[in-house]
Amino acid sequence: MKKKESGHSELKHHFASDNYAGICNEAWAAMAEANRGMASSYGDDYWTAEACEKIRELFETDCEVFFVFNGTAANSLALASLCQSYHSIVCHEMAHIETDECGASEFFSNGTKVLLVPGENGKIDLDAVEHTIHKRTDIHYPKPKALSITQATELGTLYSVQELQAIGELAKKHSLRVHMDGARFANAVASLNVAPKEISWQAGVDVLTFGGTKNGFAIGEAVVFFNKELAFEFDYRCKQAGQLASKMRFLTAPWIGMLESGAWLKNAAHANNCARLLESEIRKIPQVRVMFPSQANSVFLEMAPEALEALRGRGWHFYTFIGSGGARFMCSWDTDTAEVANLVADIKASVA
């Protein structure tokens, strides 16, 4: 690891990712609460049982809940439990499981192939999914078994309840299991203003990766199996993958604090609102184009390469991995609206 010059100067000017933000008060307080003495290890403790219960209450259904350290593990281990090695997983070509997880889904499933489909605004096109499923039915083709969708998507858009229902129906028709990468599930719930069940199990989602990290936790994601049969021996899968925390209570206590206080939704709504604010201000700048509808907590901008360089020169950090000239600005629970205004001012200056 490279040594960094200074810690605190790094706290400013960051719209690169929502995981640049720290730990919110509610999550921190819950960890402190869990730190008052000894407790059984490996999840055999009060906080873990209570966190599972709180998640069941949130989704208004009986479900199997597990906790892992990060999203890559949550996604890939969940997908591995839906598929055999000779199966395939259908997902969008921009899906995190394809572009940002180093082949973990293929690895943990012992080779299950990921099949990519296109679709506007980061959302799978259902005709393309059908085409991929029907393209071949012979024994030489890896049999499609899972459909993986991301909510909110990698491009900061959302599947509506109706769109999710259509996906669920398509999956059912073809006996596909549905996985949802919900690294930003909270942002989706806040933005759509729906009950969590409406965009998960009621729409046919079998297993959800429910993100904590980007929503203000120190660490950790929950894997929620609505189809409980698919959770068979998932605890062993986690352990073998090095994802069973021995001091589990520090992964799980924050879920209690975040869900009880409502901070999970408050944080997500704040991040969404900051992105909305950024988007509305940017739309007033003619030299800059908003690339995708900003429905969650990110805004993607297209502007001249020189302008991006000028913006970097002013100390702003952001990713430019989307196509040519596209820059992603990500808001978090901790984004300051004054910083949004500063960013807008510097964007204006950079394109001038």
Q: Determine, following the binding rule CB under 6 A, whether residue 71 of this chain makes contact with ligand PLP.
A: yes
Q: Determine, following the binding rule CB under 6 A, whether residue 26 of this chain makes contact with ligand PLP.
A: no
Per CB under 6 A, the segment of 64-72, 135-143, 189-197, 271-279 that binds ligand PLP is 64-72
Residues 148-167 contacting ligand PLP, CB under 6 A: 150, 154
Q: How far is the CB of 321 from ligand PLP (least distance, A)?
A: 12
Per CB under 6 A, the segment of 23-31, 47-55, 68-76, 235-243 that binds ligand PLP is 68-76
Q: Determine, following the binding rule CB under 6 A, whether residue 339 of this chain makes contact with ligand PLP.
A: no
**Nearest residue (CB) to ligand PLP, 87 versus 96:** 96
Contact 168, 203 (CB under 8 A): yes
Q: How far is the CB of 71 from ligand PLP (least distance, A)?
A: 2
By CB under 6 A, name the one of 24, 48, 72, 252 that touches ligand PLP. Answer: 72
**Nearest residue (CB) to ligand PLP, 41 versus 99:** 99
Q: Determine, following the binding rule CB under 6 A, whether residue 181 of this chain makes contact with ligand PLP.
A: yes
Cα separation of 251 and 245, whole Å?
8
Bridge-based pairing state of the strands 326-330 and 143-150: unpaired
Q: How far is the CB of 21 from ligand PLP (least distance, A)?
A: 12
By CB under 6 A, name the one of 14, 96, 145, 237 that touches ligand PLP. Answer: 96
Q: Determine, following the binding rule CB under 6 A, whether residue 98 of this chain makes contact with ligand PLP.
A: no
Q: How far is the CB of 86 from ligand PLP (least distance, A)?
A: 25
Q: How far is the CB of 189 from ligand PLP (least distance, A)?
A: 15
**Nearest residue (CB) to ligand PLP, 154 versus 281:** 154
- Residue nearest ligand PLP, Cβ-based: 71
**Nearest residue (CB) to ligand PLP, 78 versus 347:** 78
Per CB under 6 A, the segment of 65-73, 123-131, 253-261, 321-329 that binds ligand PLP is 65-73
Name the residues that contact ligand PLP, by CB under 6 A: 70-72, 75, 96, 150, 154, 181, 183, 213-214
